[in-house]
Structure formats: structure tokens, C-alpha cells
Amino acid sequence: MKKKYEKFIIPRGFYESEPENVAPKLLGKYLVKKEGNSYIVGKIVEVEAYLSSNDPAAHNFKGPTRRNKSLFSDAGKAYIHSLRQHCLIDVVTEGINVPGSVLIRALEPFDGIELMKENRRVEVIENISNGPGKLCKALNITRIYDNCDLTNKDSSIFICSLDADLEKDEISIGNRIGISKATNLQLRFYIKNSKYIST
């Protein structure tokens, strides 16, 4: 029972593709955070693809810096950065020096829900992890986990698959528009009818 998440960990090959292909496949997968003997787990219900080129609003546009260097590492690594007082987590896609990524935007609480409530100081279940900053707080994800390998069962954070893949008609797609210098290239994907999405 304790090892059920590790058993279904997703291998690197899953991520070695363009972000817009990986993003919808991540819906319905599980983000797992280990803390000692405890597991905090959420089902991914909303993501956003950031393409590896051509988007001035994306963090990868100007090339590597200290902040975003993990975007340029292997597919399946985590890119964790701070925005204002929050942390956000991306999954790196494609491969080395190709900085595409998928931002995880919302989770449906699945396991360790009491710990999530404590971390967030929020009781309402729909409100615990329905946003990219909120879910990092709920799972206690900080920048110390930047560049951790999400495909390794010994990592503190990894992604696994417990359910069958979603059908196309269970997924909605929307372009993100009207934000600062964005060029509308970020594709947001979410599970239709989920109560736990941020939009």
C-alpha cells in the first residue's frame, strides 16, 4: 500500500515531446509529495503549456539565467520558481536545452488531505489546491526542490499514473489571453466539470 505511488511512476519518455502534447496527457495523473512517512497527493486537473520558443511572456524566452536554468535540463525534471510570495511548479518537457514546460495549475486533493489543510490553513476542500501557488503551498513545495527528477521514485516529488488515460471529450482547451506581454501561445488544458480548477 505504502509503495503504490512509486509503482506507477511515469518514465522520462512520457515527457520527451512538445509541451502542448504532454500537457493534456498530464491531466488525470497524480502529483506526489513525500515527507518522511507521509504522502501528500493530488490529481492534476488543470495545466498550461509554455512553448519552447517564440513566446515573450514565457520564462524561457531570453535564454538561461540562474532562476530558470532547470528549464534547460532533462525532460521530466521540475522547474520550481517563485512569483511574488508564491512558488509555482512546471514539468520540463522535450529535452536538454529545449526549454518547453508545462505549468501545473490545479489539483484535486487525493491523499494526505489533512496535511494539505494544515499547510494551507484552509478547510474548504475545493479551495485547497485550485491554483498554481495554492497547490505548492498545500504540498509544501519550495524552491529547494527546483530541478528535482519527477521520474525518480527516490525523489521527494514525482508524478504517477493510477487511472486510465482521459478521453478527448473529458478535456477542455482554452487560450490564455489578455495578460501583459503574452502572445496567447500558452494553451490551458483542464478536466471538464472538475470542481477543483482555478478558472
Partner DNA sequence: AAAACGATCTACT
Partner DNA sequence: GTAGATCGTTTTG
Select the residue interacting with DNA from 53, 65, 97, 175 (CB under 7 A).
65
87 CB burial (10 A radius; 0-12, 13-18, 19+): buried
Q: Is 48 helix (H, G, I), strand (E, B) or coil?
A: strand
Q: Could you say whether residue 145 binds DNA (CB under 7 A)?
A: no
Of 20-28, 51-59, 148-156, 160-168, the segment contacting DNA by CB under 7 A is 51-59
Residue with smaller CB distance to DNA, 5 or 72: 72
What Rg, from alpha-carbon coordinates, does the chain have? 15
Residue 161 to residues 5, 41, 56, 101, Cα–Cα distance (Å)? 8, 12, 33, 19
Using the minimum distance from each CB to DNA, give the nearer residue, 117 or 153. 117
**Chosen residue from 68, 73, 119, 151 binding DNA by CB under 7 A:** 68
Residue 68: all three cell numbers together: 530558470
42 binds DNA (CB under 7 A): no
48 forms part of the interface with DNA (CB under 7 A)? yes
109 sits near DNA (criterion: CB under 7 A)? no
Distance CA 183, CA 123 (A): 37
Among 12, 17, 18, 57, binds DNA (CB under 7 A): 57
Figure out which of the listed residues 115, 120, 151, 187 binds DNA, where binding follows CB under 7 A: 120
**C-alpha dist (Å) from residue 99 to 7, 17, 70, 79, 152:** 28, 11, 9, 10, 20
Cβ within 8 Å of residue 114, ≥6 positions away? none
Q: What share of the chain is helix, strand, coil (3-state, %, to 5)?
A: 20, 30, 45
Site string for DNA, 82-101 (x = CB under 7 A): xxxxx-x-x----------x
- Does position 181 bind DNA by CB under 7 A? yes
Site membership for DNA, residue 19 (CB under 7 A): no
Judged by beta carbon, residue 9 or residue 80, the one nearer DNA is 80
What is the contact surface with DNA in residues (CB under 7 A)?
Answer: 48, 50, 57-60, 62, 65-68, 71, 79, 81-86, 88, 90, 101, 103, 120, 122, 127, 131-134, 143, 179-181, 198
